[in-house]
Structure 1
Amino acid sequence: MRSRHVGPLVVQRPFHPEADGTCHVYLLHPAGGVAGGDTLETTIHLGPGTRTLLTTPGATKFYRSTHGRSEQRMSISVGEDAVCEYLPQETILFDGADALIDMQVSLAAGATYAGWDFLSLGRPAADEKFTNGRIRQRIQVFHDGKPVWFERLHLTAGSPLSRASYALADQPILGTMIYVGNAAEDCAERVREALREHAAAVFSVSQLEGVIVCRYLGPRLSQAKSLFARAWDVLRTACQGKPANAPRIWAT
């Protein structure tokens, strides 16, 4: 209906590639990264009954911080019976970054949310490890006013948590996908079956009351994206009655 651009974020022209009218929206951050002392804050509201897929054209980068903590804060509210899929590209933590990432999702009655997050500790493709710095991350999801998912990560580079076999085991890529909404009791098992031959020991899925959580811990971002895309397809088909429709920006 209208578009106005102020500051570093741009909402590109929306697309409607799906038969049910689901709107694909690309959030573009031309600067491409968050420097020390900067705060990038985004607030998104979906009206009742809307269907929206949100993604980003490129990775979010947290650069080495010499002027204080870098922050990214996002708040998403989803109206009654609406569907929000927030599937951004990865977040890359450069060596020496000091980052805070805060995510809050509020769902009205009957609303559905699917969202994923990939954290790259350092830049493995450039042989850069995350040897200095820290990351603090918080994810909160509320459904019809009740908290249904809450998790926090506080990691300092070089700490025992990064190396321990029971924690990160020196792996550079962490992925989390959360699906909240109506779901059949066997949804998690459907995902496991679809990914059984491909996931090996790097992927897991759990189903709680009204929440399905997928995890990735491994060496390659491409592998994490491929596994989560397959899981998204299975969950979308089982819970929404339609297959995944990947935004075309992912192919560029």
Structure 2
Amino acid sequence: MIRPVARPESAAPSGWKAELGFDFARSGGRTVPARRRHRGPLAMQRPFYPERDVCHVYALHPPGGVVGGDRLLFDVRAESGAHGLVTTPSAGKFYRTAGPAAVQEQRLAVAPGGALDWLPLETIVYPGADARLSTRVDLAGDAAFFGWEVICLGLPASNAPFDRGFFVQTLEIYRDGEPVLLERARFEGGSALLREPWGLCGHTVFGTLAGTVDDPALAERIRERAAREVRDERFSLTRFDGLTVCRVMGDNAFRVRGLLAAAWDAMRLERLGRAACPPRVWNT
């Protein structure tokens, strides 16, 4: 059963209420999506198997964007022995609103011996949006997890900077019920946080990748590769409590995602002995 989501004070009864949940389970020598749960305008495309036994799933949001009052919930679990990858066929969008906030909540869980790659395409936050993006990851035992979020604030190519509105992003990772990483950031359109060196330093795109691997030699290899590939971006890496966390700031979503994808490849190979297999939809 999908866990209920508490309604924030700024939310109103209007808007789409949608839920998509499923479990990755081992069956017949490969991973399959099981116990699917669905309500409202969220759907799952048929699974793909470019890695034979690893199940690739595309999560679909047919309306194409999230508006004020919408509440989207993703509830994805990987059972023991299963390995699933979730992405999206297009960028997510939070549109402007003059009313209630738009909320997207992501609940991810991985059992001992399971693995999950959570790799949605970038999320675009329009000027005037009031958006909440919350991700909680629950890991058990030796569960393997690799996940990212890439955020684009405003539409600078259309001369529409993020000069008004709000975006709140929360990331929580727990292992065996104990917190490992807890982050919360609040971005206000036009604020000093967006332009000052102690904030985004004028960059409009930022991304975070977290993976369940903690190896100093691997970290050094990732840093060296990033140093060769960065242009105007800023890249950082930290290790702690069995996690490696990479962060990138830049002005091009494809480049930010590319730097994170290279780190994902290195982490996955080190942790699982399996190189990254980018979903085909990323090339369209």
| Cα distance per residue 1:77-112 (max 9 Å; x no partner) | 111110111000011000100011111010111101
Q: 2:59 aligns with which of 4, 21, 27?
A: 27
Task: Look up the match of 1:163.
Answer: 195
Q: Is 1:194–2:201 an aligned residue pair?
A: no
- Number of aligned residue pairs: 250
Structure 1 unaligned runs (5+)?
none
Letter matched to residue 115 of structure 2: V
Letter matched to residue 51 of structure 2: E
In structure 2, C-alpha distance between the alignment counterparts of 1:195 and 1:216, rounded to whole Å: 10
Task: Look up the match of 1:16.
Answer: 49
Q: Which runs of 4+ in 1 moved over 3 A?
A: 1-6
- 2:214–2:239 CA contact under 8 A, matched in 1: no
Q: Which moved more, 1:62-71 or 1:122-131?
A: 122-131
Q: Which moved more, 1:152-161 or 1:3-12?
A: 3-12
Letter matched to residue 224 of structure 2: E
Q: 1:102 aligns with which of 121, 134, 141?
A: 134
- 2:214–2:241 CA contact under 8 A, matched in 1: no
Letter matched to residue 235 of structure 2: F
In structure 2, C-alpha distance between the alignment counterparts of 1:242 and 1:116, rounded to whole Å: 18
Q: Is 1:89–2:109 an aligned residue pair?
A: no
Distance 1:27 1:121, change over 3 A: same
Structure 2 unaligned runs (5+)?
1-33
What TM-score do you get using the length of structure 2 for normalisation? 0.84
- The alpha-carbon deviation at position 127 of structure 1 amounts to 2.4
What percent of counterpart residues are identical? 39
> Which runs of structure 2 are paired with 1:35-184 in the superposition (5 Å)?
35-180=67-212, 182-184=213-215
Q: Which moved more, 1:42-51 or 1:28-37?
A: 42-51
In structure 1, C-alpha distance between the alignment counterparts of 2:73 and 2:37, rounded to whole Å: 16
- 1:183–1:238 CA contact under 8 A, matched in 2: no
- The alpha-carbon deviation at position 208 of structure 1 amounts to 1.4
Letter matched to residue 118 of structure 2: Y
- 1:183–1:239 CA contact under 8 A, matched in 2: no
What TM-score do you get using the length of structure 1 for normalisation? 0.94
In structure 1, C-alpha distance between the alignment counterparts of 2:154 and 2:80, rounded to whole Å: 40
Q: Is 1:234–2:266 an aligned residue pair?
A: yes
Q: Is 1:212–2:244 an aligned residue pair?
A: yes
Report the secondary structure of 1:194's partner residue: helix
- The alpha-carbon deviation at position 183 of structure 1 amounts to 3.7
- The alpha-carbon deviation at position 124 of structure 1 amounts to 2.4
Report the secondary structure of 1:131's partner residue: coil
- 2:214–2:240 CA contact under 8 A, matched in 1: no
Letter matched to residue 81 of structure 2: G
- 1:139–1:151 CA contact under 8 A, matched in 2: yes
- 1:178–1:211 CA contact under 8 A, matched in 2: yes
Letter matched to residue 63 of structure 1: Y
